[in-house]
Amino acid sequence: MYQILKKRKLSEKICLMKIRAERIARKCLPGEFLIIRIDEQGERIPLTICDFNREEGTVVIVVQVVGATSYRLVRDFNEGDSIADVVGPLGNPSDLTKKTPEELKKMHILFVAGGLGAAPVYPQVKWLVEQGVVPDVVQGSKTKDMVILEKEMRALAGDHLYITTDDGTYGFHGMVTAKVEDLVKNEGRHYDLCVAIGPMVMMKFVAKLTKELGIPTVASMDPIMVDGTGMCGACRLLVGGEVKFACVDGPEFDAHQVDFDQAIKRARMYKTEEGRAFLKVQEGETHHGGCGNCGGEA
Tell me the per-residue pLDDT of 44-72, one tens digit each, with 9 for 90 and over: 888 989 999 999 999 999 999 988 888 99
Residue 252 has pLDDT above 50, yes or no: yes
- Lowest-confidence segment of 85-99, 161-175, 281-295 by average pLDDT: 281-295
Q: What average pLDDT does range 197-219 have in this prediction?
A: 96
Sign of CA dihedral 149, 197, 145, 161: positive
Domain boundary among the residues 33, 60, 90 is at: 90
Domain boundary among the residues 41, 75, 90 is at: 90
User: What is the enclosing helix (H) or strand (E) of 9?
Assistant: strand 2-11
Q: Which domain holds residue 71?
A: 2-90
118 and 210 assigned to the same domain: yes
Which pLDDT does position 278 carry in this prediction? 57
**CATH number of the domain enclosing 74:** 2.40.30.10
Which pLDDT does position 256 carry in this prediction? 97
User: What pTM did the predictor assign?
Assistant: 0.88
pLDDT tens digit sequence for 28-44: 999 999 999 998 887 88
173 and 79 assigned to the same domain: no
213 and 143 assigned to the same domain: yes
Mean pLDDT score of the chain, rounded to an integer? 88
Q: What average pLDDT does range 170-188 have in this prediction?
A: 95
> What separation in angstroms does the CA of 29 have from each of 16, 24, 119, 272, 276?
19, 10, 14, 34, 32
**CA distance linking residue 72 with residue 125, whole number of Å:** 30
Phi then psi for 48, rounded to 5 degrees? -70, 145
Number of domains observed in the structure of the chain: 3
